[in-house]
Structure 1
Amino acid sequence: MKKLILKILVLGAFSPVLLAQDIRKVQLRTLCLEQIKDLEKVVLAAGDGKSKGQDVILYTDISPVIEGSFTTNEAIFYIEKTGPDGKPLQVPVGKATLGKSARQLFLFVPGGTGEGKLPYQVIAYDDDLKSFAMGSVRAINLAPVPVRFVLAGEVTPQIPPGRFAQFPHATKVDDYNMYPVVIEFLSANGEWVKGQSVSWKASDQKREVVVTLVDMKYKQPSVQNFADFPPWNGQ
């Protein structure tokens, strides 16, 4: 089978250092893979550290756009509780390093447990059309093993754990612009195991966000696919 060449990128791009007095505006959306009980709504800390933060509902799909203001390269999400003294207390539940773009997608994933661990792991991705073009697929591998995609018979290079890759739809499609897709996970014995077999529709009117992971409860490969129609398409 032919090998499809694609670019593999590190999760969470680093952005230029901001001066303390600068205020950076970011148009952002969120995607929560799994809501944690009582943490379906969080607050995005205000950039100046003084103003009231902005409520953020954690949708289990790609959310509407909100605007955040930042004076550092870190986005902090918190919930408010009552402290021992009876006063409001801000408890961090997730943090992310900002990307470079003025438009970003924040992916929320259940975090670790134990002391010092935040409930959500948050990863920011550049979301403008130059970074992520219409008609493209962004494959985010959160599984502890490499994955690869077989698009209409063409195999992508494997995507290591903790990385993401972007590639165009297959050009070998049927009369309805549909084509077969197999998503494979590398097993411990070095064999590729089918995690999902589906049909995709090639279209330049949307983008696809695909997240691969392993269900730790059942020890089974899992694939979550989200059709993305960014509101800035055509801008």
Structure 2
Amino acid sequence: MKMAFGFLAAILVASLSPFAHASDPSPLQDFCVAVNDSVAAVFVNGKICKNPNMVVAEDFFFPGLNKPGNTSNQVGSMVTPVNVNQLPGLNTLGISLARIDFAPYGINPPHTHPRASEILLVVEGTLYVGFVTSNPANPTMKNKLFTKYLYPGDVFVFPQGLIHFQFNVGKTNALAFAGLSSQNPGVITIANAVFGSNPPINPDVLAKAFQVEKNVIDYLQAQFWWNIN
């Protein structure tokens, strides 16, 4: 029953998304199956179309979202994306999908999707989720945090580009599906980008920005920042 609900949830998340074309341009033909970047002759903002005469049903198919992601990592979660890089038939359609697995007390760390809003549906477990608004116009005010505890069947929306997170507050595994309003939403995990960039950001810059001693930044930059996306 849970597995059937999971598949239904995935379809529902994608089909009910009211912002399916909020980010990506609308298609100008029935479909534009993506050509693998490694064999593309030029680089464009998106993907080059496969010859329509060569398109097959498999170009619109992705198996395996019934398989849990490996959550045995530092943050205790794993994202299984289904965007244009995994499913070429999504090219120009303005939507994508992801399965998110959580170990007990696992977290999908604060991150943003620069090109998509996200709608999340919880299938199993209890998640504490939230997002933070962009900088307010009034410099005396702080960024506002919106949070909610979600249970199976609950839905929550994260607006495009805003920092958000999901945390499994239960003692059992949790599972959620996310629909996103882009074929290639992108993801920026805040801690990874700030403290784990290559080459590293000058620690003097970060010490000043975070108003801490440089040795704190040195410690953070020396850590291994796990990428689950």
**Which interval holds the TM-score relative to the shorter structure?**
under 0.3
Q: Which has the higher strand share?
A: 1
Q: Which has the larger helix fraction?
A: 2
